[in-house]
């Protein structure tokens, strides 16, 4: 039987507890989870690509994951790593329409790659990277919003910016 590989892509700016929940659940379903940290030159990220990759690596140590940076299309990355499935997390029903449209585009580009939606755990449905960035910019505690391994890194990043 061949190895079951999936790809979970996102900007992870920064990685949240909701993202980590999806990653852990994907790890239960697949032999290997490729976490593709996206670099979009048209988007201004709070953290550099290397900082985001490092935070994801810290939070997923010990899991059956591989963390990579990606600058092109996620379907190209999925093919490169032999992933037959791309994971997408849904926090709320409002996420579904845009994610469905993205899945259809990806299916047109790579019909051999399936998109699998994982509904986020209710306790994380209110967490977004943008909310975390705003909280951090005001010096709020990030406990329960981001993985423990990243709290201090994110807080320090914003402390030095202010």
Q: Which residues are catalytic?
A: 19, 43, 91, 129
Q: Are 5 and 30 in contact (CB under 8 A)?
A: yes
Q: Give the H/E segment covering residue 108.
A: helix 93-109
Phi/psi zone of residue 100: left (φ > 0), alpha (ψ -120 to 50 degrees), beta?
Answer: alpha
Question: Which residues, in sequence order, are bridge partners of residue 64?
Answer: none
Please tell me the distance from the alpha carbon of residue 154 to that of residue 156, in angstroms, as a whole number.
Answer: 5
User: Tokens 């926090």 — which residue?
Assistant: 91
- Nearest Cα neighbor of 56 from 87, 23, 91, 99 is 23
Name the token pair of 2.
């061949």
Please tell me the distance from the alpha carbon of residue 152 to that of residue 55, in angstroms, as a whole number.
Answer: 11
């Amino acid at each position: 039987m061949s190895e079951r590989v999936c790809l979970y892509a996102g900007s992870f700016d920064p990685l949240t507890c909701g993202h980590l929940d999806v990653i852990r659940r994907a790890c239960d379903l697949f032999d290997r989870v490729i976490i593709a940290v996206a670099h979009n030159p048209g988007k201004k990220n709070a953290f550099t690509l290397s900082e985001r990759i490092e935070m994801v690596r810290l939070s997923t140590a010990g899991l059956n994951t591989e963390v990579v940076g990606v600058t092109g299309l996620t379907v190209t990355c999925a093919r490169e790593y032999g992933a037959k499935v791309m994971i997408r997390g849904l926090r709320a029903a409002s996420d579904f329409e845009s994610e469905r449209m993205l899945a259809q585009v990806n299916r047109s580009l790579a019909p051999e790659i399936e998109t699998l939606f994982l509904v986020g755990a209710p306790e994380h449905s209110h967490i977004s990277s943008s909310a975390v960035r705003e909280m951090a910019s005001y010096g709020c505690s990030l406990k329960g919003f981001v993985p423990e391994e990243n709290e201090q890194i994110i807080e320090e990043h914003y402390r030095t910016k202010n």
